[in-house]
Amino acid sequence: MQPVEPDADQQQQPAPQQGQVPTIRVESRLVNIAVNVADKNGAPVGGLGKDDFEILEDGKPQKIAYFERELSAPLSIVLAIDASESVLRDERLEKNAAKHFVNALLRDQDELDLMDFSDSVREIVPFTNQKKRIENGLNELQRGDETALYDAIYLASDRLSQTKNEAGRRRVVVVITDGVDTAKKSRYGQALEQAQRAGAMIYSIIIVPVWEDAGRNTGGEHALIQMSNDTGGKYFYVEDKNDLEPAFARVSDDLRMQYVLGYYAPQRGGDSAFRSIRVKMKNAALQDSYQLRHRSGYYSSGR
């Protein structure tokens, strides 16, 4: 997730002229990490505390400076809907499922941006917590022939990078698609890097027309799955359109059961290299019992 302050180490303003009151600006490098914990059966584990976790950056332990349990941490979400002919077949069903998702998940402290993508990417409704505006926007989806999937993830992540930088805020992209990028403008690596720079978790709802289809593009699906895993999100397959609403519900449940941990990134100069993150249970016995899911790392110039 993202730091509380803009990207910089401690910086001090130039010395004031005589008679001026000196101003000192201190900018932090707080790195937020949303973590899901599950037992061996895949059931979410609640009730854990700050002292149950340990964070390592590039293998070195870090002091946990921020901790928040589950439901209270605010959300900035981009809902990106594939409006290509291959996906948008039952508009009424898809729109209703999306509306129920928004109504169930969005709280006063949250905000959501609505996009659709086909030949290009459109921002239909900019960030808002007004559910009626989002519902109206869902009635404005426009069909197209191509699927600018990676463009959509890139631009959604870019928009998220401009959202509030408060402690604990989680940034999320929920993308509904069949996983096939046909526009071939932004590439997979560019989209993933932008998501990692924004601290965005990718939740992929993958529409599968026919499981046994010999012409099915599993490469696109696997790329989305990898992107979801690397960013600490999750993926869900939907074969029957009636399963779309349950998939949205699973995304909502997953976001509600997260812990948010934060630490101050160590100072290493002005580099913008990728830094790996690992979160684990402090109790060695629990390390074998619980599975932790979180983003794999961040770029030091954008957390």
Question: What is the CATH number for 213?
Answer: 3.40.50.410
Bridging pattern class, strands 200-207 and 259-264:
unpaired
CB atoms within 10 A of CB 185: 14
Residue 5's pLDDT band (cuts 50, 70, 90): very low
The phi and psi torsions of 70 (rounded to 5 degrees) equal: 45, -105
Q: Are residues 98 and 188 in the same domain?
A: yes
Q: Are residues 224 and 153 in the same domain?
A: yes
Q: Are residues 150 and 230 in the same domain?
A: yes
Q: Are residues 286 and 168 in the same domain?
A: no
In a domain, 1, yes or no: no
The 3-state DSSP class for residue 164 equals coil
The dihedral over CA atoms of 273, 180, 161, 237, expressed in degrees to the nearest 10, equals -100
The 3-state DSSP class for residue 128 equals strand
According to the model, what pLDDT value does residue 173 have? 98
Residues ≥6 apart with Cβ < 8 Å to 8: 27, 29
In a domain, 11, yes or no: no
Q: Are residues 97 and 229 in the same domain?
A: yes
In a domain, 6, yes or no: no
In a domain, 18, yes or no: no
pLDDT tens digits for 90-132? 677 788 899 999 999 999 999 999 999 999 999 999 999 999 9
Q: Which residues pair with 38 in a beta bridge?
A: 44, 291
Q: Are residues 87 and 209 in the same domain?
A: yes
Number of domains in the chain: 2
According to the model, what pLDDT value does residue 216 have? 55
Q: Which residue has the higher pLDDT, 211 or 75?
A: 75
Range of lowest pLDDT (4-8, 33-37, 148-152): 4-8
Q: Are residues 286 and 169 in the same domain?
A: no
In a domain, 23, yes or no: no
DSSP H or E stretch at residue 22:
none
Q: Are residues 226 and 282 in the same domain?
A: no
Say how far apart CA 125 and CA 141 lie, in whole Å: 11
Q: Are residues 242 and 116 in the same domain?
A: yes
Domain that holds residue 279: 30-69+260-299
pLDDT at 1 over 50: no
pLDDT tens digits for 147-166? 899 999 999 999 999 998 77
pLDDT tens digits for 217-252? 666 789 999 999 999 999 999 888 788 899 999 999
Q: Are residues 161 and 175 in the same domain?
A: yes
**Range of 3-17, 62-76, 193-207 with top mean pLDDT:** 193-207
In a domain, 276, yes or no: yes
Q: How far apart are the first and last CA of the chain?
A: 6
In a domain, 229, yes or no: yes
Q: Are residues 271 and 189 in the same domain?
A: no
According to the model, what pLDDT value does residue 45 have? 95
Mean pLDDT of 46-53: 95
In a domain, 20, yes or no: no
Q: Are residues 159 and 277 in the same domain?
A: no
Range of lowest pLDDT (16-20, 84-88, 138-142): 16-20
pLDDT tens digits for 51-96? 999 999 999 999 999 999 866 789 999 999 998 877 766 677 788 8
Residues ≥6 apart with Cβ < 8 Å to 131: 102, 103, 106
